[in-house]
Structure 1
Amino acid sequence: MADYYTPRGGLPPQTELTTDRAVFTQAYAVLPRGTMRDITTNRLPFWDETRLWTIARPLTGFAETFSQYIAEVGPGGGSDRPENNSEAESVLFVVDGELRLDLAGATHPLRAGSYVFLTPGEQWTLHNESAATATFHWIRKRYTPVDGLDAPESFVTHESDVEFGAMPGTDGAWCTQRFTDPDDVRHDMHVNIVTFEPGGAIPFPETHVMEHGLYVLEGKAVYLLNKDWVEVQEGDFMWLRAFCPQACYAGGPGRFRYLLYKDMHRHAPLSL
């Protein structure tokens, strides 16, 4: 079973050095895992025993299409009114603990590795009935409807049920687990897991219109962000605006994995 990095909050001692790897530029941002402390958490209405780290939100002139939370739900916590925006679609990805999802009249037990897609306007609830905290990523995007095209249905799966698709010519050193059909244009965002074996690489600077959020679930690597090679490790989050060049080299000793958001399958808007 995969072991996903999960933040625990806390506060460093007064003897700790302030210097860290956190950076925000015009092209990208890096939020190292050490930035996810008790004092950087937030609360939401109608969520009990729950705190969240907001690691991405739409910003004019930067990444504009999505928000991403890391939500920690204590025993007995959760929500009967989790979403207040009927236009929002969501992906939930559990990294620690156990949760109960009620969706469309069915109950789904969730555990680390569980993946949920929630179509806009879906009715759902989420609760922690265990004696330990549970943590999940919550990625939200305003769905972009297309006349004559239905919105995709909600679904629940687990990453262990999704095959590793090797990228061409990599002999399995670079793989992507795709939770939705890449040719299904009803979906206007993809949230996948990308895995590099030690020595695996993105061998060219990807430069494209899709915005990215990359949360490192496991391992470490050096990542090219615009013109900078940046060391990243499990628990770090990278936030890339459109057209930011990117590449990667995973030096090991273990595999390098991240949860990846990108916007997809829609015309570029012709006005700001």
Structure 2
Amino acid sequence: MGYPNDILTSRAVVEPGKYMILPPEGLVNNVVPGFENVSMSILSSPKTGAKFVDYIVTMHKGGKNERGFGSGDDVETFVYVLDGKIKAFADKEEFVLEQGGYLYCPPSATMYLENMQDEDSRLFLYKQKHITLEGHTPWVHAGNSNENEEVIYDDMENVHIQDLLPTDIAFDMNFHILTFDPAASHPFVETHYQQHGAYLLSGEGMYNLDNEWIPVKKDDYIFMDTYCLQAAYAVGREKLSYVYSKDCNRDAFL
């Protein structure tokens, strides 16, 4: 990076127990055992109040994880390809994932990742402990968001949502992509039990977090804790789109 060219400032906002916005400029690299020839940053984690861990990963030429990611200790994993082309392995199956491609692995399957190109590939990576439900077992699932159906969100034709995982009660979480046309917004300010970790894929917007309106844009990361007020509207000429996790299909525990 070298010497700064201006006064040191940041758009990052961290409110423990509420929310967090991390722009890409302020991220630092973390060494995570098992990953080779990569640059990666840990985003949300239990230290921020999250029940999951999110990462942003840049796999350089030869980048890989031969040691495996997830599996054991009831850990489920998910990867979404932001840019590039990777090879992913799970349960003796091989998947080629390009931009928009994704793979979910239940606790019974270990995920292995490898960059397939000389150029960098960028990934949004996730893990959390799976909450089991007797008689129901999740399975390995892969797809590509560019091929998935977009559904009108809450009867608003200028907002669309995609489900990336099966809407089956065996899954205790899902990933969605929410897309707003310019000037579109949520129908109301949400307050709910679920947590979110969101990575902005395109556009710019204003995001309401705990009743603070904060500007966000492509490549920002947002963590929203339980019961954090939240809503967004798109600004500018591009669609505002983000991929995000949501816990689901389970009761609250005492």
TM-score range, shorter chain: over 0.9
TM-fit CA distance, 1:121 = 2.5
- Identify unmatched segments of 5+ residues in structure 1: 1-10
Report the residue type matching 2:45 in the other structure.
R
The structure 2 residue matched to 1:176, chosen from 161, 168, 171, is 161
Report the residue type matching 2:209 in the other structure.
L
- Tell me, in whole angstroms, the C-alpha distance in 2 between the residues paired with 1:33 and 1:102: 28
Q: Structure 1 vs Structure 2: percent identity of aligned residues?
A: 25
Q: Give the SS at the match of 1:160.
A: helix
Asked whether the 8 Å contact 2:201–2:242 carries over to 1, the reply is: yes
Report the residue type matching 2:93 in the other structure.
A
TM-fit CA distance, 1:229 = 0.3
Matching residue of 1:25: 15
TM-fit CA distance, 1:125 = 2.1
Cα offsets for 1:197-219 (capped at 9, x unmatched):
01110131100000111111100
Whichever structure has more strand as a proportion of its residues is: 2
Matched, 1:163 2:149: yes
Report the residue type matching 2:80 in the other structure.
F
Cα offsets for 1:80-134 (capped at 9, x unmatched):
2222541111110011111111233332211111111111130342212321111
The structure 2 residue matched to 1:98, chosen from 85, 94, 110, is 85
Query: Number of residues paired by the alignment?
Result: 252
The structure 1 residue matched to 2:35, chosen from 43, 47, 51, is 47
- Tell me, in whole angstroms, the C-alpha distance in 2 between the residues paired with 1:140 and 1:84: 7
Matching residue of 1:115: 102
Q: Give the SS at the match of 1:198.
A: coil
Asked whether the 8 Å contact 2:86–2:114 carries over to 1, the reply is: yes
The structure 2 residue matched to 1:16, chosen from 6, 22, 25, is 6
Moved more, 27-36 or 81-90: 81-90
- Tell me, in whole angstroms, the C-alpha distance in 2 between the residues paired with 1:82 and 1:105: 13
Asked whether the 8 Å contact 2:141–2:165 carries over to 1, the reply is: no
TM-fit CA distance, 1:13 = 4.0
The structure 1 residue matched to 2:64, chosen from 68, 78, 92, is 78
- Tell me, in whole angstroms, the C-alpha distance in 1 between the residues paired with 2:2 and 2:178: 31
Q: Aligned runs of 1:141-220 on 2, under 5 Å? A: 141-150=128-137, 152-171=138-157, 173-182=158-167, 184-220=168-204
What TM-score does the superposition give when structure 1 sets the normalisation length?
Answer: 0.88
Matching residue of 1:7: none
- Tell me, in whole angstroms, the C-alpha distance in 2 between the residues paired with 1:202 and 1:52: 31
Deviating above 4 A after TM superposition, structure 1's stretches of 4 or more consecutive aligned residues are none
Asked whether the 8 Å contact 1:97–1:132 carries over to 2, the reply is: yes
- Tell me, in whole angstroms, the C-alpha distance in 2 between the residues paired with 1:179 and 1:42: 28
- Identify unmatched segments of 5+ residues in structure 2: none
Please tell me the root mean square deviation across aligned C-alpha atoms, in Å.
Answer: 1.5
Asked whether the 8 Å contact 2:154–2:187 carries over to 1, the reply is: no
Cα offsets for 1:148-198 (capped at 9, x unmatched):
222x11011111121111113212x1111101233x111111111110001
TM-fit CA distance, 1:224 = 0.5
Asked whether the 8 Å contact 1:193–1:259 carries over to 2, the reply is: yes
- Tell me, in whole angstroms, the C-alpha distance in 2 between the residues paired with 1:207 and 1:12: 42
Asked whether the 8 Å contact 1:65–1:263 carries over to 2, the reply is: no
- After superposition, the Cα gap between the structure-2 partners of 1:119 and 1:17, relative to the gap in structure 1 and judged at 3 Å, is same
- Tell me, in whole angstroms, the C-alpha distance in 2 between the residues paired with 1:84 and 1:231: 34
What TM-score does the superposition give when structure 2 sets the normalisation length?
Answer: 0.94
- Tell me, in whole angstroms, the C-alpha distance in 2 between the residues paired with 1:124 and 1:33: 26
